[in-house]
Amino acid sequence: MAATEFTPIASAAGGALIGVSAVMLMLLSGRIAGISGIVGRLLPPYGQSGIPEAGAFVIALLAAPIAYAAVTHEAVVQAVSSNVPLMVGAGLLVGFGAGLGGGCTSGHGVCGLSRLSPRSIVATLVFMATAMVTVFVVRHVIGGAP
């Protein structure tokens, strides 16, 4: 568990960009910028409106690191666990939980909090709490690497 550098300015700037994106979608298209909701529209069962728009959003999201590298000539720094069973389990929980709970960090955490939605406020408090407990247990109780 290596420390990472505290980056308040870059993080606030990145957060502001996320906000600009969310405002753009609402102001122009009347949509919530919730990633699990947008990706969900591309998965069965189909029938929701806005599937082409969701496809355009996801393709552009996937293009973001390529655009970032092309403009800045800097590699994107990241450290990802290569523990395959752990990452598969984490992915299943994130996808299933976001689907069942009707949103993720963006839909509940950014857009929902900004609408002062009681459901989103509760969801954000719950997932922040279980995420912190999970990291505490993994790192300080079990003492594992991730």
Partner 1 sequence: MNIPVHAVAGLIFGIGLIVSGMANPAKVKNFLDIAGTWDPSLAFVMGAAVLVTFLGYRVAFRQGVPLLAERFNLPTKSDIDRRLLIGAGLFGIGWGLGGYCPGPALAALPLLAQGTLVFVPAMLVGLAVARRAAR
70 binds partner 1 (CB under 8 A): no
Per-residue interface string for the shown chain with partner 1, residues 106-145, x marking contact by CB under 8 A = x-xxxxxxxx-xxx--xxx-xxxxxxxxxxx-xxx-----
Pairwise CA distance, residues 81 & 86, whole Å: 8
14 binds partner 1 (CB under 8 A): yes
Pairwise CA distance, residues 54 & 51, whole Å: 5
Is residue 115 classed as helix, strand or coil in its secondary structure? coil
- DSSP label of 30: -
Provide, rounded to whole angstroms, the least separation between the CB of residue 75 and partner 1: 9
Provide, rounded to whole angstroms, the least separation between the CB of residue 82 and partner 1: 5
Q: Return the H-helix or E-strand segment holding 21.
A: helix 8-24
Provide, rounded to whole angstroms, the least separation between the CB of residue 49 and partner 1: 8
R_g of the chain, CA atoms, integer Å: 17
Is residue 89 classed as helix, strand or coil in its secondary structure? helix
Provide, rounded to whole angstroms, the least separation between the CB of residue 139 and partner 1: 6
54 or 73: CB nearest partner 1? 54
Window 15-54: residues binding partner 1 (CB under 8 A): 15-33, 35-36, 39-40, 43-45, 49-50, 52-54
